[in-house]
Amino acid sequence: MITQECRPKLFREVSGQNLPKTVLKAICKSPATSPRTIILEGEYGTGKTTCARIFAKALNCKYKLKDGDACGKCEDCQSDISNSIYYEEYDSSIIGNITDIKELKETFYFNESLGYKVIVLDEAHLITPQAQSALLKLFEESPAGIFFVLCTTNSSKILNTIRSRALTLKFDLLSQKEIEDNLENIAKNYLQIDIDNDIIKLVAERSKGHLRNAHMLLEQYQMLGREEFISLYRSCTELYGMFIRAIICKRSDILSEIIEKLLHYRLSELKSEYELFVLNIIKLFYNENASDDKQMIFIVSYFKHKKNNFIDILNDYRNYDMFNSDIRFTSFMWLLADRLKQLTK
């Protein structure tokens, strides 16, 4: 599994997330004087668990680098941290209901003479408020040698009293560029395969900032092969191209297939200027009186004139910043479905 095998083992291998990485590395340099309760907040698949594991490794690495990152070479660094005494992950379903502080203390006991232990409470927002109150008491006592790391996609569900005592580090969605770079690196160094740039771009685009999504898509690409993968995950721009060709060729059979694919995209994924432009044009194509916008009318008359060069025209206009109206994609699709019937007549 790419998601398992390619999980970074050092901070310097983690994509993006510069602020949390820098702060965690700083803590590794002087753990004795650092806050012991840390909240890692951010969307799924952005590196929270990964960084918590690396944190445990770097805290205990005896040969760590100047910036606080683990050396990556010593015996401790080479071993699997998730099976070590320095790290433990608890699902909120396990500890989410423990309201007894004694029981918590026993569960989380650690012999500090061995080093530092990182205890991850995953999906921390699902821990009941009562159990969170008990945890708060435990955090206040700062058990020796233990760092508590609360991972959450929704920190507003964590008690204010915990949040105000903890250090909160925010994990951002990754940029398109960060994901592309990560995928290129994985393809080259881990999978040792050549992947075309258009696939890398497509995967990055479809993963919407969640690197885990990107890795899962890459895995699918390996299983399916290029052709099948592309037909499943065409970019919306490309789908629109097919869509328009189908209209021109009056292939309502293909058209319904494409609409079905388009409907799998969320509106937010379609909101680029170009896509809106295409939607507007298509809308007008079906109903000439749909707009009294002068520019639109001009374009439609232009379009009528050169019907067969429709796609060229769209490409001419793709960089124009003139269509920013807020068409509702779903209602548009319904309208279109309606017009489809006429098309087949």
Ligand X SMILES: Nc1ncnc2c1ncn2[C@@H]1O[C@H](COP(=O)(O)OP(=O)(O)O)[C@@H](O)[C@H]1O
Residue 198 neighbours by CB distance under 10 Å: 12
Residue 77 binds Zn ion, judged by CB under 5 A: yes
Q: Does the footprint of ligand X cover residue 132 (CB under 6 A)?
A: no
Question: To the nearest whole angstrom, how small is the minimum distance from the Cβ of residue 100 to ligand X?
Answer: 28
Interface with ligand X, residue 17, by CB under 6 A: yes
CB of residue 175 vs ligand X: minimum separation in angstroms? 11
Amino acid at 161: T
Partner from Mg ion, Zn ion, ligand X, none binding residue 215, C-beta < 5-8 Å depending on class: ligand X
Candidates 281, 264, 289, 260; CA nearest to 327 is 281
- Among 71, 126, 327, 333, interactor with Zn ion by CB under 5 A: 71
**Closest C-alpha among 194, 193, 247, 205 to residue 230:** 205
d(CA 33, CA 336) in angstroms, rounded, equals 63
> Does 49 sit near Mg ion (CB under 5 A)?
yes
Which one of ligand X, Zn ion, Mg ion, none interacts with residue 77, CB within 5 to 8 A by kind? Zn ion
Query: How many Å apart are CA 337 and CA 282, to the nearest integer?
Result: 12
For position 207 contacting ligand X by CB under 6 A, the verdict is: no
CB of 123 to Mg ion, least distance (A): 8
Considering the rule CB under 5 A, would residue 61 count as an interface residue with Zn ion?
A: yes
Q: Which does 60 bind (CB under 5 to 8 A by kind): Zn ion, Mg ion, ligand X, none?
A: none
Residue spans of beta strands (DSSP E) within the chain: 37-42, 87-91, 117-122, 146-152, 167-171
Q: Does 117 help bind ligand X (rule: CB under 6 A)?
A: no
Report the residue number, 183 or 296, with the smaller CB distance to ligand X: 183
Rg (CA), the chain: 26
Residue closer to ligand X by CB (options 8, 35) is 8
Strand partners, 87: 118
CB 204 within 8 A of CB 179: yes
46 binds Mg ion per the rule CB under 5 A: no
- How many Å apart are CA 300 and CA 306, to the nearest integer? 10
Indicate the SS3 state at residue 36.
coil
74 belongs to the binding site for Zn ion (CB under 5 A): yes
> Dihedrals φ, ψ of 223, to 5°?
-75, -40
**Which residues within the stretch 161-180 sit at the binding site for Zn ion (CB under 5 A)?**
none
Under rule CB under 5 A, which residues in 217-236 are in contact with Mg ion?
none
Q: How far apart are the first and last CA of the chain?
A: 50
Do residues 89 and 120 make contact, with C-beta atoms less than 8 angstroms apart?
yes
Choices 208-216, 244-252, 259-267, 299-307 (CB under 6 A): range interacting with ligand X = 208-216
Which range of residues in 10-18, 25-33, 80-88, 226-234 is near ligand X by CB under 6 A? 10-18
Q: How many CA atoms lie within 13 A of 283 on its CB side?
A: 25
Quick check: 20 binds ligand X (CB under 6 A)? no
Report d(CA 265, CA 311) in Å as an integer: 22
Closer to Mg ion at the Cβ: 171 or 277? 171
Question: Which backbone phi and psi does 167 adopt, to 5 degrees?
Answer: -90, 120
The two most distant CA atoms of the chain are separated, in Å, by 82
- Stretch touching ligand X by CB under 6 A, among 48-56, 127-135, 156-164, 264-272: 48-56
| Beta carbon nearer to ligand X, 40 or 244 | 40
Is 55 in contact with 118 (CB distance < 8 Å)?
yes
The 166-185 contact track toward ligand X, x by CB under 6 A, reads ----------------x---
209 binding ligand X? (CB under 6 A): no
Q: Rule CB under 5 A: which residues touch Mg ion?
A: 49
Q: Rule CB under 5 A: which residues touch Zn ion?
A: 61, 63, 70-71, 74, 77
Q: Rule CB under 6 A: which residues touch ligand X?
A: 3, 6-8, 14-17, 44-50, 151, 182, 211-212, 215
